[in-house]
Structure 1
Amino acid sequence: MFNNMGGKTMTITVYHGGTEQVNSPLCRLGRENLDFGRGFYVTDIKEQAYRWAITTAKRRKTQAVINIYQLDRDAILTEARCKIFKAYDTEWLNFIVASRRGENPASIYDYVEGGVANDRVIDTINLYMSGLMSADVALQRLAQYQPNNQICLLDQSITDKYLVYERTELAE
């Protein structure tokens, strides 16, 4: 891949765990009220995509697959409206809570990246959302965990331009 200046850019390998081949991802098909809003989710952690695929396949009683892509992250960070969370911090917590409440804080972005509100941390988030835990206590609990990483592609033109399908593998 080349950037707008004619120079070569670096791509990263990203994964989407699921139950079907997705060679042309559609951002509008994602579920609402997820961590970073409705979009196409990938991760640069293969084991994480594998776990997502297995969980989804068990629920749907079908085969788990991993879709593999090349993502020109450098170009996206230069060209798109991006938000990157580096830790489970106050800003991340408030963004996740707003997303889960349907407030769609991701609507002003094309690309959001950061920690996953997964099984390890969701109880803390739910206690905070219900008012049973303060933000300070929630953040102290979240600080015990190293965030996994997820990338949410929210803009179809950015996705079409910078996410290149490579192949699909069975998650066995």
Structure 2
Amino acid sequence: MILYHGSNMIINEINLNKCRPYKDFGQGFYCTGIKEQAELMAKRVARIYGGDPYVNKFELDENIYKAKELNIKKFESPTGEWAIFVLNNRDRKFQDKNSIECNNDNKYDLVVGPVADDDLALLFRTFTRGLIDIDTLIKEMKYKRFSNQYSFHSKKAIKYLKLVGGN
């Protein structure tokens, strides 16, 4: 499977320490199977940090899903469980790091699931402020369009990614 990572540089070696925390699935190296999505991210990163947009192309060894040494969490669709997981990972005040409802401690080597884009921000804020309940959140998410992301959180998982080109 081919995955893309939008950046402002060629990523020859993935350094998890350089990845930003408080992302959808925790601090990790994020990729997508949609090149256009990675291109948009590359432009955004270059605009914020300087440099030129660059889309790194990786091949994912699909044997990763059979690897016994990896703890993989996969969300097939946006569900209540997924929404709580994303909200907990993004919340700088979330305390229960050992909870299965977050990945702030990188308990999952790989997490796959929908992207919580800016379009969901208002809906998530409405939920976290207690203005809607989880059932309403789930119902409203059904009207949104989602794309998938793959986040790698350990060196063990990154071994299954191979840089094969870019731009």
TM-score (normalizing by structure 1): 0.85
Structure 1, unaligned runs of 5 or more: 1-11
Q: Is residue 2:59 matched to residue 1:59?
A: no
Secondary structure of the corresponding residue to residue 165 of structure 2 = strand
Give the Cα–Cα distance (whole angstroms) in 1 for the partners of residues 145 and 72 of structure 2: 22
Q: Is residue 2:133 matched to residue 1:134?
A: yes
Structure 1 segment 79-158 matched on structure 2, within 5 A: 79=67, 80-102=70-92, 103=94, 104=97, 105-106=102-103, 107-158=106-157
Match of 2:27 in 1: 38
Conserved 8 A contact 1:34-1:100: yes
Give the Cα–Cα distance (whole angstroms) in 2 for the partners of residues 61 and 116 of structure 1: 24
Give the Cα–Cα distance (whole angstroms) in 2 for the partners of residues 36 and 133 of structure 1: 23
Give the Cα–Cα distance (whole angstroms) in 1 for the partners of residues 75 and 156 of structure 2: 23
| CA-to-aligned-CA distance 1:4-23 (integer Å, 9 cap, x gap) | xxxxxxxx100000101101
Secondary structure of the corresponding residue to residue 112 of structure 1 = strand
Conserved 8 A contact 1:29-1:38: no
RMSD: 1.4
Give the Cα–Cα distance (whole angstroms) in 1 for the partners of residues 125 and 117 of structure 2: 11
Query: Which amino acid in structure 1 is aligned with residue 71 of structure 2?
Result: R
Match of 2:163 in 1: 165
| CA-to-aligned-CA distance 1:94-147 (integer Å, 9 cap, x gap) | 101110114452232100010111112121112212222221221111111232
Conserved 8 A contact 2:9-2:51: no
Match of 1:75 in 2: 63
Structure 2, unaligned runs of 5 or more: none
Deviation larger for 76-85 or 119-128: 119-128
Secondary structure of the corresponding residue to residue 108 of structure 1 = coil
Secondary structure of the corresponding residue to residue 78 of structure 2 = coil
Q: CA deviation at 1:148?
A: 0.8
Query: Which amino acid in structure 2 is aligned with residue 157 of structure 1?
Result: K
Secondary structure of the corresponding residue to residue 31 of structure 1 = coil
TM-score (normalizing by structure 2): 0.87
Conserved 8 A contact 1:17-1:49: yes
Conserved 8 A contact 1:114-1:147: no
Aligned length: 156
Conserved 8 A contact 1:70-1:164: yes
Sort the Cα spacing of 1:152 and 1:93 in 2 relative to 1 into closer, same or farther, 3 A.
Answer: same
